[in-house]
Amino acid sequence: MTDRTSLKLNDERKHLFEQASQIVAGDPTDNPPRSDVIDAALTHLIESHQNIENARKKYPPQTIKDCANTSVLGLRYRTSIESKWR
């Protein structure tokens, strides 16, 4: 990973930021800075990965797949979790 100081925001990324900002916001009038939205998204991704790993010890693979499969974290049936993002 490289260190970058700016983000190029195409229409899709702007829309994703708007959606994520609504989730992070304390109320409808709150407008959190993008850095807070990014921090929240990264924390959620890391915690979700750990939660899925922990749940794999307790539940069958199909249950985990049905509950946790997203476009960012995918569960390969009976094998591993892999990132589909990028």
Residue 29 tokens read as 């009038």
Summarised one tens digit per residue, pLDDT across range 41-67 is 999 888 988 888 888 889 887 788 788
Query: In the prediction, which pLDDT does 40 show?
Result: 92
What is the widest separation between alpha-carbon atoms in the chain?
Answer: 44
Q: How many CB atoms lie within 10 A of CB 39?
A: 13
Residue 40 tokens read as 């929240």
Question: Between 58 and 2, whose confidence is greater?
Answer: 58
Would the pLDDT of 69 be above 90? no
